[in-house]
Every structure is written in structure tokens, then in C-alpha cells.
Structure 1
Amino acid sequence: MAKPKADNRARFLQKFTMAGPNDCWLWTGKTINSGYGYFWVEGTKHMTAHRYAFLQAYGYLPTVVRHSCDVKLCVNPAHLLPGTSKDNSQDMASRHRMGGGNVKLTAAQVEEIRRRFVSGSHGRGGNRRQLALEFGVDSKHIWRIATGRAGDYRITDPKRGVA
């Protein structure tokens, strides 16, 4: 006889770290290549974790679920907003998140990331997520910065202008 599947809501609650009501609640479960949390619903379909959190909190799914905090791993319903693709694009443009190359960090921030970076296997055991949250960039950017990959961020320094 097949083992009964755990309740979706109970499983979901085990896959993120709940902090204060105004803090980001970071997804610790599986992620997809774009950096969003990934959740298996009802054992048969997948959904990004922030969309599932929105559905559970508000009872419906808009076309797009946006993050007011700009943290892809955040599932705090207080940070999630309904919207359209146009709203999401406007958010990205106004927050300099379009195309990866618009992420702006100072030279000092880049050096700090490189100094503090701890490597992990496929996001496990390292500190990419924590650094990404702290510096307001995607965890992939943290890895690229720390490992010296070029072209995925722009270093700005007020003394020198854009490097």
C-alpha cells in the first residue's frame, strides 16, 4: 500500500526559515535555475515557493507574484504583491535588476563579498544566500563575484566612476 503523502501546507512550513513578521522568510528547499524556491504541490505538480505562499495567504493567484523585498527566496506573504508582467518589469527596471549587468556594487562591497564568501556544493553548506540577501543581489552574482567570473555585475566607485 502506498504511503500517504504529507499535507502540502505542513511540508511547506518545514521548508523555510521564519523570522520576524517584517523580515524575509528564506526558502531552504529546492530551487530552480532562476533562483526561486521550488515546491511540489499535491505530489503531482510544481510551483514556485513564493507563488504557493501567496496562494495560501490570499486564496488566489494573480498573473505575477512580485517581491517587494527583491529576495527571490523570500516566502513571507507580507513581502509578496499581486501584479502583471508589466508591473514586474517596471519593478526590475526601477531597482536596477534587469539583465544582470545593471547590478551595482561598490568596489568595497565586491572585496567584502570575496573576503567573506564560503563555497558550498550547489548552494548547500556555503553562505551565498546570506551574502545575496545582505548585499541585495542574486546568489548567482555572489558566486560570480567571489570566483572572479566577469561581466555579470558592474562595480561602481564614487571616486573613479564606473569601472
Structure 2
Amino acid sequence: MSISPPGNGVPWGTLLADGETVARYWSHVLCRGPDDCWWWTGGLSDTGHATFRAVSLPGHTRRGTVPAHLFGYRLAQGIDSIPAGLVIRHRCDEPPCQNPAHWLLGTRGDNNRDAASRRRLAGHALADVRGAAGRARAVQAAIATADPDHLDEAIAAALAEGNPSGAHQDSLF
């Protein structure tokens, strides 16, 4: 299977094999416990997804920018790990999460159905009153300003701010 370059002409294999590029990716990931979200501290899209400047190109362009979870998934699972027609979904529903254990493959329809059903759950990440990008920015701000000894509490407080009622619901039924 041929893997097309990520919109910048540089093959995925070259990007994933470059130690400096991989180190830059990991420098933007706050790795925590194996079951926790690993928060992205770099650029964010308007949808709250992590963005990674995998390669710098001359001029004012974003052609070298890729979704960070796409880079991370291929880094963790291999360059040919995403069959045509499938997307990477987040089990945690946190678009900036970079924990490979939170990613799974599915169709765009699967992803849309997941989001639609969970967006209705009180206290769920997708029901955050700030929207996904606002939630991601709040977590990034909490990470940037938190005392390292109280990082988990700062992240929890930032997440709770998006659910002013404090309600929590695990399923629709």
C-alpha cells in the first residue's frame, strides 16, 4: 500500500524516521499514566485537535502541519497502520489526547455516531460548554501555569469548568 505524503511532499517514512522530528513531537506531549489522557501542549486546530508542524517549509504556509494524532498513530503502529477509508478515533473523546492506548480505527461514520451520542451526556467531554477547542485551550493553560506537584488537580479543575452544573452521566440509558 502506498502512503501519500502528508500534504508537504515529504514521505511519512522520512518524517517518522527523523529523530529530531520525533523528539519535537514528544516535546509537546504531557505523558501521564497509561490510562490517562496525554495532553498536547502545542498547536491546536479550530476543532481542538492537536496540530504538529512536522516539517518547516519556506514562506507563510501550513503545508508542513499534520494532525498530531495521525503522526503519533503512525509512529506507534507503523506507517501502513491506517487502511484506506478509516480514521483515528479517540476513545476518550479528547481531541488533543496523544495516548496511543486511547486511539482506535473506525470509519468516519463510526466517529460521527460516537460524537453525536456522547455529546448529549451530561458532564461528558463532548458536552463541554466551551466546545472542544475551548476545552483543549483551558487544559493547555492549566498545564502551563500549574505547579508541577499539582498538575492533575489543575487539569481536573480546567475540565470541570466546562461543566458548570457538575452533572455527570455515563450513558444515555
Does the Cα contact within 8 Å between 1:26 and 1:74 map onto a contact in 2? Answer: yes
Structure 1 residue 22, shift from structure 2 partner: 1.5
Runs of 4+ in 1 over 3 A off after TM superposition: 122-129, 131-135
1:88 aligns with 2:111: yes
- Structure 1 CA distance for aligned equivalents of residues 22 and 101 of structure 2: 18
**Could you tell which deviates more after superposition, 76-85 or 40-49?**
40-49
Match of 1:29 among 24, 37, 42: 42
Match of 2:90 among 60, 64, 67: 67
Of the two structures, which has the highest relative contact order with CA contacts closer than 8 Å and spacing of 6 or more?
2
Please give the per-residue CA displacement for 1:88-111, whole angstroms capped at 9, x wherever unaligned: 01211231x2xxxx4634xxxx9x
Match of 1:58 among 77, 84, 89: 77
- Structure 2 CA distance for aligned equivalents of residues 70 and 124 of structure 1: 14
- Structure 2 CA distance for aligned equivalents of residues 30 and 19 of structure 1: 19
- More strand by proportion, 1 or 2? 1
Structure 1 residue 17, shift from structure 2 partner: 0.4
Please, what TM-score do these two structures have when normalized by structure 2?
0.56
The number of residue pairs the alignment matches comes to 119
Which residue of structure 2 aligns with residue 40 of structure 1?
53
- Structure 2 CA distance for aligned equivalents of residues 90 and 40 of structure 1: 30
Please give the per-residue CA displacement for 1:79-128, whole angstroms capped at 9, x wherever unaligned: 00111111101211231x2xxxx4634xxxx9xx9xxxxxxxx7598439
Q: Label 1:156 to 1:40 Cα distance change in 2 as closer, same or farther (>3 A).
A: closer
Does the Cα contact within 8 Å between 1:71 and 1:133 map onto a contact in 2? Answer: no
Please, what TM-score do these two structures have when normalized by structure 1?
0.59
1:127 aligns with 2:142: yes
> Unaligned 5+ residue runs, structure 1?
114-121, 136-140, 147-154, 158-163
- Structure 2 CA distance for aligned equivalents of residues 156 and 124 of structure 1: 17
Aligned Cα root-mean-square deviation (Å): 3.4
Letter in structure 1 aligned against 2:122: K
- More helix by proportion, 1 or 2? 2
Give the secondary-structure state (helix, strand or coil) at the position aligned to 1:7.
Answer: helix
Identical residues among aligned pairs (%): 32
Structure 1 residue 47, shift from structure 2 partner: 1.0
Letter in structure 2 aligned against 1:40: R
